[in-house]
Amino acid sequence: MALIVQKYGGTSVGSPERISAVAEKVARMRKAGDDLVIVVSAMSGETDRLIKLAKAIHSDPSPRELDVLLATGEQTTIALLSMALEKIGCPARSYTGFQVHIRTDNVYGKARILDIDESRVREDLKKGRVVVIAGFQGADQDGNITTLGRGGSDTTGVAMAAALKADECQIYTDVDGVYTTDPRIVPEARRLDRITFEEMLELASLGSKVLQIRSVEFAGKYRVPLRVLSSFEDGPGTLITYEENEMEAPLISGIAFNRDEAKLTLRGVPDKPGIAAQILGEIGKANINVDMIVQNVAADDTTDFTFTVHRGEYKKAREVLARVAQDLKAREVNGDDKIVKISIVGVGMRSHAGIASQMFKTLADEGINIQMISTSEIKVSVVVEEKYLELGVRALHTAFGLEKTSQSTV
C-alpha cells in the first residue's frame, strides 16, 4: 500500500463537475488501497477574482489582509472536494493550512514553509480517510494566515509529501507533463517522459509555468519522487528524476522563456569597489529580486551597470535606481520593459562544447539581436526584444532537434 500525495490545480477543480470527477478518481484509488492526501488549488480564476475584489476596495491592500482573503479560494475547494468524496461513500476530511500546522515565515504573499506537523494527517489516514488540504497557505508563528506566492499549491503538495515521506507526489494539471517548450508557441513540442531535477529547477526558475519553483527546490532538498500528470487524460506524465546519465542525456531538454522581464541600466557609475553592492543592496532592500546582471568593462573611470527584474517590479526598481543614481552621481538611468528572456536547458550541455554558439548563430540567422547573455553549467539564457519571442523559440526548438529526439520511456 502506497502513500501518495496528489495536487490538483485550479483548472482540475474549476467547476462542480470537475471536482466530482476528481473525487471519483480519488475514491477509486482509495478503494484500490492507497493512502491519499489531496492538496488543491483554488478553482480556476478564483485567486484572480479575489485580487480584483481587493483592488476594488483598496489600490494597495495590506499584505496581511490580502492573504486572509486569498486563502479563502483554497478553503472553498477543500470543502467542496470533501463533500464530493463523502457523497460517493469515501470518508474524507478537509483542512486549511493553519489546521494542519503548515508553519511559514511571515512574508505575506510569498511566505516560505518552515515546518509541518503531519501527525493530524497521519491519524486521519489511519482511520481510512482521505485527507484534503488547502494548498498555497500556512500560518506564521503568531497564527497569521500567509500565502506562498502564485502557484504555491505545488509547494504545499511537495512539502506535504516530504513531511509524510510519501511514495510519490503527483501534480495533476491541465497539461499531461513537462514539454520541450510551450506547445502554444511550438505545436511540435513534445512531452518528456523524464527530466532531471536540475533541469526542472532551471526550467521553473526560467519561467516555465508547469511547477512553482519553490516546489521544485523543496522536492530536490528532500528528494521527493515527483510526477507531473494530466487530470483529464490517463498517461505516465513526466517523472522528475534525481539520477542523470550525462552520456545518454539529450543536449537540450527544453526551451523556457519569460515575458515577465524588464531591464534597467545605470549609466556612468564610478568604477570602484562597492558599487555593485550598493546598487543591488538598495534594490534588495526594496524586496526586488534581480535576475541577470551585466557590468561593462570601464571606459574612462566609469562603467555601466545593467540588470533585469520582474516586469511587475519595474516601476519600483526604477524609482529605487533614480535615488541610487543621485547618490552615486551616475550619468543616467535607462530602462526597457519590452524584453523577454529565452533559455535553453539541458544537463547534456555539460559534456558538449559549442552549445551556446549554436544558440547564438540560430538567433543571428533569424536577425534577432541579443541584448544580454547569461550562462550556467546547464543553461544559456539570452535577453531579446519582446517581438522576437515566438520566432526565437521556434527557431531554437528546430535547431536543437527537440521535436525529434527519441526519449527513453519510464
Tell the smallest beta-carbon distance from residue 367 to ligand ASP (Å): 37
Among 26, 27, 42, 229, binds ligand ASP (CB under 6 A): 42
Tell the smallest beta-carbon distance from residue 44 to ligand ASP (Å): 8
Tell the smallest beta-carbon distance from residue 42 to Mg ion (Å): 10
Angle at 106 between CA 102 and CA 110, to 5 degrees: 80
Cα dihedral 216→218→224→229 (10° resolution): -30
> Smaller CB distance to ligand ASP: residue 20 or 156?
156
Size of the site for ligand ASP (CB under 6 A): 13
> Smaller CB distance to Mg ion: residue 9 or 138?
9
Measure the CA–CA gap between 254 and 397, rounded to whole angstroms. Answer: 8
- Binding partner of residue 268 among ligand ASP, Mg ion, none, CB under 5 to 8 Å per kind? none
> Smaller CB distance to ligand ASP: residue 108 or 307?
108
Q: Does 41 bind ligand ASP (CB under 6 A)?
A: yes
> Any idea which residue has 487524460 for its cell?
233
Tell the smallest beta-carbon distance from residue 50 to ligand ASP (Å): 9
Measure the CA–CA gap between 407 and 397, rounded to whole angstroms. Answer: 16
Q: Does 10 bind ligand ASP (CB under 6 A)?
A: yes
Tell the smallest beta-carbon distance from residue 208 to Mg ion (Å): 11
> Smaller CB distance to ligand ASP: residue 161 or 252?
161
Among 151, 237, 250, 348, binds Mg ion (CB under 5 A): 151
Which residues partner with 319 through β-bridges?
none
Q: Are 52 and 117 in contact (CB under 8 A)?
A: no
Tell the smallest beta-carbon distance from residue 257 to ligand ASP (Å): 20
Q: Which three cell numbers stand for residue 78?
A: 477543500
Contact pattern from residue 137 through residue 176 relative to ligand ASP, giving x for each residue in contact according to CB under 6 A and a dash for the rest: -------------xxxxx----------------------
Tell the smallest beta-carbon distance from residue 47 to ligand ASP (Å): 4
**Which residue stretch of 6-14, 140-148, 293-301, 380-388 sits at the interface with Mg ion (rule: CB under 5 A)?**
6-14
Among 9, 135, 254, 268, binds Mg ion (CB under 5 A): 9
- Binding partner of residue 73 among ligand ASP, Mg ion, none, CB under 5 to 8 Å per kind? ligand ASP
- Subset of 66-85 contacting ligand ASP (CB under 6 A): 73
**Which residue stretch of 40-48, 111-119, 202-210, 315-323 sits at the interface with ligand ASP (rule: CB under 6 A)?**
40-48
Amino acid identity of residue 401, one-letter, is G
Among 98, 108, 136, 218, binds ligand ASP (CB under 6 A): 136
**Contact residues for ligand ASP (CB under 6 A)?**
9-10, 41-42, 47, 73, 135-136, 150-154
